[in-house]
Amino acid sequence: MSDTHAQTAAYVRESMIGQSAPPTGQSGAIRWMRENLFSGVTNTILTLVSIYVIWVIVSHLFPWFANSIWRADSLTQCREIRDATVGADAPAACFAVIVDRWQQLVFGFYPQDKYWRPVLALVVFLAAIAPILFQSLPRKALWFSAAAPFLLFFLLWGGSVWLPVCVALGFVIGAVAYRLLVASAGTLTATLAAIVLPLLYWLFLAGPLDAALTAVAPVGLEYVQSKDFGGFTLSFIIGVAGIALSLPLGILLALGRQSHLFIIKMISVGFIEVIRGVPLIVWLFTASLLLNYFLPPGTNFDLMLRVIIMVTLFSAAYIAEVVRGGLAALPKGQYEGADSLGLDYWQSMRLVILPQALKISIPGIVNTFIGLFKDTTLVVFIGLLDPIGLTNAIRASTDWNGVYWELFIFVGLMFFIACFSMGRYSLFLEKKLQREHR
């Protein structure tokens, strides 16, 4: 601008004007509602219908929850309190049944003076699984994670402290045999020795060794029979055991199905197809009724252990197909790259292929785990009292005959917390691996 024009100008701006706030309809909650709820005729109609449905549901459920009764000894007393406070026709939830029977729903028939044992077992489980789920924790804590299953067994069932020690010794024998033979005899021979030697030890030596140690030093806790387990404790034990055991077995089955060895491939395919082709309830009845016919006379095979084995095998078949999908999704160049580095089969799988395949398979694996955890309620059909079975037992009593929704809401809430936690960890792991990939 020239000096003459600057002197004759009526106004010269010396500073920039700050930005003005956007119009009310183009920012904040109003903008979000216009874009997401009322962006068109169809969206507006669906929004109004949804609001009406939500209003109808809330208007019926809110009084039922607001008038809920938490202190009563029976359903009859709940109704008397409701009639005296809010009227005979008013809806009111009788959550007093939860206050009265929550211990039974959580612990089943586990002895009350020993409730500290499953509670402590839950704390040990959470502490043991934390280093596995979160890499920020010290890696040395994995030793505690490896010892935790034996400690959990001892806390929950009790008995001699030497039994879990003798069982753990079998895994030590397998690990030592593998390390001694892998360099001289090869990976296949070392792997077979690591499997066969512990099995022989458990079949012939673990029992006598446990009896001898117990006779010398009888240390342990009071034994609790499996029939005393029930409620959410039973579902949690079966679900966690099935999840922990089915993942490695499913990975091996997936690798076996893609193996070039004919016998291993056919065994893997046959196992997966037979297990997946039959409903879980049939396998549970097989574990409950038919398995004893194939065992030697006089053999006492614990029912809960049989159920855990069947649930594990059933879940492993589905995990195998999920992992196989992850393996098939990898480009062929990944396999060729592993071969070009001079890695053998197990090294390439452990270092190159499986980490990528499992990353792809995380949603499917967690989805299978959630389904498995919820399917533990099927054990009610073979005589084990899971939370659903205990609701039937509670409603069969004269005090709480007629209570339905309150019990099912409590059971559903417990399962929702467990399944929602698994789902959230799955999302956390997916985001973490995506950041690492970038």
Q: What is the pLDDT of residue 380?
A: 87
What is the Cα–Cα distance from 110 to 114, expressed in whole angstroms?
A: 7
Predicted pLDDT of residue 194: 87
**pLDDT over 80 (residue 20):** no
Torsion of CA 327, 331, 336, 342, to 10 degrees: -50
What digits encode the pLDDT tens for the residues 121-138?
Answer: 999 999 999 998 888 888
* Predicted pLDDT of residue 366: 93
Can you give the pLDDT at residue 105? Answer: 92
Mean pLDDT of 361-373: 92
Reported as a single tens digit per residue, the pLDDT across 203-249 is 888 888 989 998 988 888 999 998 899 899 999 999 999 999 999 99
Q: For 248-264, what is each residue's pLDDT tens digit?
A: 999 999 998 988 888 88
Are 160 and 147 in contact by the 8 Å Cβ rule? The answer is no
Share of the chain above pLDDT 70, in %: 92
Instruction: Tell me what the pLDDT averaged over the chain comes to.
Output: 86
pLDDT at 274: 93
Q: Is the pLDDT of residue 337 over 90?
A: no
The continuous run of DSSP H or E covering 346 comes out as helix 345-348
Residue 52's pLDDT band (boundaries 50, 70, 90)? very high
Query: From CA 163, how far away is CA 220, in angstroms rounded?
Result: 10
Residue whose tokens read 């009310």: 24
Confidence category of residue 187, pLDDT binned at 50, 70, 90: confident
Confidence (pLDDT) at 153: 92
- pLDDT bin (cut points 50, 70, 90) of residue 435 is low
Query: Do 123 and 156 form a contact (C-beta atoms < 8 A)?
Result: no
Q: What percentage of the chain has pLDDT greater than the value 90?
A: 37
* pLDDT at residue 7, rounded to an integer: 56
Q: What does the alpha-carbon distance between residue 279 and residue 364 come to, in Å, rounded to a whole number?
A: 19
